Amino acid sequence: MDLQDFVTTTLCQISAGVATAKNYDRCVAPRVDVGERDPKILRTFAGADGVFLVEFDVAVTISDASENGTVPSIMVLSPSAPKPKTKGGIENSSVNRLKFTVPIAYR
Spans of all domains in the chain: 3-79+94-105
pLDDT at residue 38 in the model:
72
Length of the chain: 107
Distance CA 60, CA 97 (A): 6
pLDDT at residue 17 in the model:
92
Closest CA to 33 of 50, 53, 14, 55: 50
Question: What is the per-residue pLDDT across 8-31, written as a single tens digit (0 to 9) for each?
Answer: 888 888 899 999 999 999 889 888
Q: How far apart are the first and last CA of the chain?
A: 42
Report yes or no on whether pTM surpasses 0.75. Answer: no
pLDDT at residue 77 in the model:
80
Question: What is the per-residue pLDDT across 47-104, written as a single tens digit (0 to 9) for each?
Answer: 667 788 888 988 888 776 555 566 667 788 877 655 555 555 444 567 788 898 888 8
